Structures are given as structure tokens and as C-alpha cells.
A = this chain, B = another copy of it.
Amino acid sequence: MFYLLDIIGTMAFAMSGALTAMNKKMDPFGVFIIAFVTALGGGTLRDVMIGNTPVGWMKDLNGVYAIILAFLLAFIFRNRFDKLRTSLFVFDTIGLGVFTLIGIQKGIDIHLHPVICIAVGTMTACFGGVIRDILCNEIPVIFRKEIYATICIIGGIIFFLLKKLNFEDDIIYLMTSSIIIIIRLMAVKFKWSLKPIVNKS
């Protein structure tokens, strides 16, 4: 079940990456790479930084196949993205919750401090998008207004609070990912965003 959600999230991230790359007029190779890094870049960065090498997608190919499939779907439906936008957004939000949890768990597995686990979870969920934006020559959108990363951090804090309260792992997983998904949906509905820090010097 969880693994299935992981694959759904991966495909949603890859398709949104492919869309961004097409808007930048990239060629098929470029579109594929941007789809790839949007989906797996965060986890790759995490694996490299915690020393889990060869990185995940080199050992379990399902992520790669999911991205190839997402790339083909994005290509076929490239003129009908407007109609897909809502379902894509829902899947993307599922991915946000699942990726954060996977990252946190990887941190726990190697006994990192909770603060670092939350950082690792946020990195897993959000830094694929950062690498995508850098490759597209933009300042990363989550550094400017997107509330994306903040939601992962809140989710991470709730995760460890629940753990402190001795909830079962399954419950913690379900509640944390639900909270991340709900806040994300509300953030978009009510147009929550972070404001720039203004300085006058």
C-alpha cells in the first residue's frame, strides 16, 4: 500500500517536472531528465548525504520505470494538461506526504537526531523541485513563496511528537501523512504563502 503511494507520488512529481521542462522548450532528453530529477532528485541527494550508496534508484528500478511511464504519459497528454491539473495536484500532494515520511524513516534507521531526520524528510520531498528549478535556470520556487517545505517540517514535528506519545508506527505514518496532505490542500485552497523578508539596508 505504502509502496504503491510511493510510486504514485513519483509519477506525479515526474509528470509535473516534465510539464515544467516542456514549458521551457526542452528537447525529449531534457524533458526526461527534468522529470527524473523532480521525482528522484530529493531522494538521491538524501542518499548521497547519508551515505546510502549506490543511491536508491540504482538498486530498485521500479522508480525508474515509473518515471519512464510518467514521461510517456506526459508526452501523450501534453496538450491536455489543463484537464489533468486537478488529479495531478492530488497525486503530487500524496507524494509530498509519502516522500517526507520515507526520508524521516531513513534518518531514524541510521539513528540520526530528530531535528536532522526532519531535515532529511524535507529534503527528500522538496529538493527534487529545487534541482529542477536550478536546471531550468530559475530561483527555486520553494525559496520564494511556496509553503511546500514548511508543511513538511510541520509534518515532521508532528511525527516525533506522536512518537514521543508512544503511538504505534502505523498510526504515526497515517496521521503524519494525512496532516501533511490536508495542510497542503488547505494552503492551496486558501492561497497561503510565505512573504519575503523585507530589509532596508
Contacts and interface: CB of A to CB of B under 8 A. Distances in A.
A61 B163 CA distance: 21
Interface in A114-171: 115-116, 119-120, 130, 134-140, 142-145, 149-150
A150 to B, nearest CB: 6
Q: Which of A112, A134, A201 has the most CB of B within 10 A?
A: A201
A160 B24 CA distance: 34
A22 interface: yes
A34 interface: yes
Task: State how many copies of this chain the complex holds.
Answer: 3
Contact of A30 (B29, B61, B142): B142
Contact of A199 (B51, B81, B115): B81
A50 interface: yes
Given A26-B197, A50-B54, A58-B116, 6 more contacts: A21-B197, A26-B196, A28-B194, A29-B142, A61-B115, A78-B201
Pick the 7 closest A-B CB pairs, nearest first.
A30-B143, A51-B53, A27-B194, A78-B199, A81-B201, A25-B196, A22-B199
Interface of A: 19, 21-31, 33-34, 44, 48-51, 53-55, 57-58, 61, 64, 75, 78-82, 110, 112-113, 115-116, 119-120, 130, 134-140, 142-145, 149-150, 193-201
11 contacts: A22-B197, A22-B199, A26-B197, A27-B144, A28-B197, A30-B140, A51-B54, A64-B116, A64-B119, A79-B199, A80-B201
